[in-house]
Amino acid sequence: MPKVTKRKARKTESSDEETTDQPVITVVDKTPKKAVKRKASSSVDKNAKKVSCTNEASTLEEATQELEDQEVQLPKTMTLKTSSRLSPKGEKATLKLVSWNINGIRGWLSNGGLKYIEQENPDVIGFQELKCDKEKIPNNATPTGYKSYWLSGDTAGYSGVGLLTKIDPIDVKFGIGNAEHDTEGRVITAEYDKFYFVVSYIPNSGRKLVRLGYRQQFNEAFRSYLTELDAKKPVIWCGDLNVSHQSIDLANAKSNTKTAGYTQEERDDFAKILAGGFLDSFNDAKNLIVKQFYSLDYLLVRHLYPEERDAYTFWSYFRDARTRNIGWRLDYFIISSRLQENLCDVIHQTGVYGSDHCPIVVLLSFV
């Protein structure tokens, strides 16, 4: 039986008002041993790049059609999972990375998002869907000990990605170096000593798949970008990738084959990236059928969680989908295959609220 401890959360300030009823934190250890605690390094604030605040049509056709304009009642508790699983080399995790689609940074702040960072204490965290201009992001969105990097697009309130890091990056780049695909604020890349960390918010194909063509063009350009990075040093790619790769990755696969996020085209494009030397850290997507894999449903060897079902990261607010766990796995950590020996664990923090997505965590060992 996992050990459970309870902590009472303190009061936290949001961008608009003070939130007095903060979540109570419950920490659940997934493994018999205690998780390794990490100490924050001292750091400084630093901001970078472009434009304003409202709502992206998030458009998983079935899942989000009535999401806008709903008032969301969030639970007053937060349950964190921890893990002390070792890497294949028998080494403890030394690096904790987080990815989270926060569905609007102002709402996330007012819903106690900073409390999660305080409790999780990641070394680096990547955000998607800021829905806010960099110039308007509240100062308290950068916690003490982190440097921040923000990117927004040319359309006000649409998309946007961000990065908080306690480790000083060698370099940070915005976009993928392709003018056609760098106007929507979708990619930040931080270079570290032993890897590239890529935060992305992949385009949604939209209701009635109106952007599927553009999505496929972006996928191809992005695949080339990752391949170029991987030739220099290993890549850790995270974000809301807006695709459920296999039928096990969403609750209602049969009824969603023509829905954004589960079309054959999107799944094939994702498989093509994985086939270029990358693996899905949660489910190791190794294709066992060597022929025309673009048109096949995949037979896969699963890596960390071979029988894990109902493991979702996105739930619509519509019809109480999260409580019923009617969801999609849209959020991933994809790593260069040669980092497999460094991989300790992947955690879906499904007990953390504040967005229609939950945060995901990858634990790695770099000695």
Q: How far apart are CA 162 and CA 144, in angstroms?
A: 16
Give yes or no for a contact between 276 and 223, defined as CB atoms under 8 angstroms apart.
yes
What letter does residue 40 receive in the DSSP assignment?
P
**Numbered residues of the known binding site:** 101, 129, 240, 242, 356-357
Judge whether 357 counts as a catalytic residue.
yes
Q: Retrieve residue 160's tokens.
A: 């946007």
Using alpha carbons, list the distances in angstroms from residue 342 to 180, 349, 366: 35, 21, 7
Judge whether 201 counts as a catalytic residue.
yes
Q: 128: which strand partners?
A: 101, 161
Judge whether 297 counts as a catalytic residue.
no
Q: How far apart are CA 136 and CA 21, in angstroms?
A: 25
Give yes or no for a contact between 351 and 338, defined as CB atoms under 8 angstroms apart.
no
H or E element, residue 236: strand 235-240
Among residues 133, 230, 240, 249, the one annotated as catalytic is 240
Give yes or no for a contact between 276 and 224, defined as CB atoms under 8 angstroms apart.
no
Q: How far apart are CA 359 and CA 152, in angstroms?
A: 20
**Numbered residues of the known binding site for Mg(2+):** 101, 129, 240, 242, 356-357
Among residues 201, 317, 332, 353, the one annotated as catalytic is 201
The catalytic residues are 201, 240, 357
